[in-house]
Amino acid sequence: MRYSSPQLIDRLAAEYALGTLQGGARRRFVRLLADRADVRMAVATWEARLAPLANSVSPVQPKAQVWKAIAAQTQPSAVQQQASGWSWLRPASWGLGGIAAGVALSAAALFTAPTLFFTADQIAMRSGEKLPQSYVGVLTDTQGNGRLLVSSLRHGKTVTLKVIGQGHLGSAATPLQLWALPPADVNGGKAFLLAQVPVQGSSIAMLPDTSEKLLSKVSKLAVTQANAAQPGLPGEVVLTGQCAKLW
């Protein structure tokens, strides 16, 4: 299965966040999560989108047997010491039921309002997640407005392109291309093609090699329209920006 389609990634991320992605498909997607920042972003977006749904669900009082089953699986030795008529609702006691109730309430609050417990950076880095080593660029138009966000994992073979700002970059009839501009001492400073650029939304494109090999010595990026020639580039330059290392 090819994972270069943003629509496919979005659908899989939704199923993953809902818990309906199972079996081999889920295992493959979990591996993909570890390798690609755009997949983690898609999952985080769906988690944030689905979290408010918990507020619309009426609370349900679990049966006593539920808490007993949880306690039996988590702390069986402690359960054996408790009388059969012990209630987790008794205010003066601090037992398994009270702990379980507190955990359930805390989990619900964490799911619906994680910023009550963690900063935005801590949330982004939860479960060992952190900003991955990547090549990134924000390309601007002639007025200095940011119009295109480019990112690729350091050793990845895909590049993610996202149109930002107001309006489309152009029309589908005028192809846009993303170029890497190496310095003069690298390959004679000759520009080379990285990917086709969407006129709106986002896309993921395959690179001819790993981004490390392609971009390690590149400091500038450019987007051209393929309908007009310009020295050094096969088209009119419409966007430019720096290529930065995120590490």
Which of the four pLDDT bands, split at 50, 70 and 90, describes residue 112?
A: very low
Same domain, 110 and 155: no
* Structural domain containing residue 24: 6-55
Same domain, 81 and 25: no
**What's the rounded mean pLDDT across residues 20-41?**
86
Same domain, 109 and 212: no
Strands (E), 45-114: none
Asked if 43 and 17 touch (Cβ cutoff 8 Å), the reply is yes
Same domain, 206 and 140: yes
**What's the rounded mean pLDDT across residues 14-25?**
86
Query: What's the confidence (pLDDT) of residue 88?
Result: 44
The rounded distance, in Å, linking the Cα atoms of 156 and 4 is 12
Q: Rounded to the nearest 5 degrees, what angle is found at the Cα of 203, between the Cα atoms of 217 and 226?
A: 70
- Which residues have CB under 8 Å from 189's CB, separation 6+? 181, 182, 183, 232
Query: What's the confidence (pLDDT) of residue 241?
Result: 93
Tell which wins on pLDDT, 83 or 139: 139
- Which residues have CB under 8 Å from 141's CB, separation 6+? 147, 238, 239
CA proximity to 232, closest of 199, 197, 187: 187
Q: Rounded to two decimals, what is the model's pTM?
A: 0.49
Q: What is the CATH number of the domain that holds 186?
A: 2.60.40
Give pLDDT tens digits for 63-105.
Answer: 888 788 877 777 755 445 554 444 444 444 444 444 444 544 4
Same domain, 25 and 62: no
Question: What does pLDDT average to over the chain?
Answer: 75
Same domain, 67 and 47: no
Tell which wins on pLDDT, 103 or 161: 161
Q: Under DSSP, is residue 48 helix (H, G, I), strand (E, B) or coil?
A: helix
Interstrand relation of 220-225 and 158-163 (parallel, antiparallel or unpaired):
unpaired
Same domain, 37 and 93: no
Same domain, 20 and 62: no
- Which residues have CB under 8 Å from 207's CB, separation 6+? 152, 156, 157, 158, 159, 194, 195, 214
Which of the four pLDDT bands, split at 50, 70 and 90, describes residue 131?
A: low
Same domain, 72 and 50: no
Give pLDDT tens digits for 186-233.
Answer: 878 888 999 999 988 888 888 989 999 999 999 999 999 876 545 555
Domain stops at, among 66, 89, 116: 116
Which of the four pLDDT bands, split at 50, 70 and 90, describes residue 124?
A: very low
CA proximity to 133, closest of 153, 116, 119, 162: 153
Give the chain's domain count: 3
The rounded distance, in Å, linking the Cα atoms of 201 and 9 is 14
Give the pair of three-digit tokens for residue 51.
């979290």
Q: What element of type H or E holds 193?
A: strand 192-197
Same domain, 109 and 144: no
Tell which wins on pLDDT, 149 or 90: 149
Asked whether residue 142 is assigned to any structural domain, the reply reads: yes
Query: What's the confidence (pLDDT) of residue 86?
Result: 44
**What's the rounded mean pLDDT across residues 9-35?**
86
Same domain, 111 and 203: no
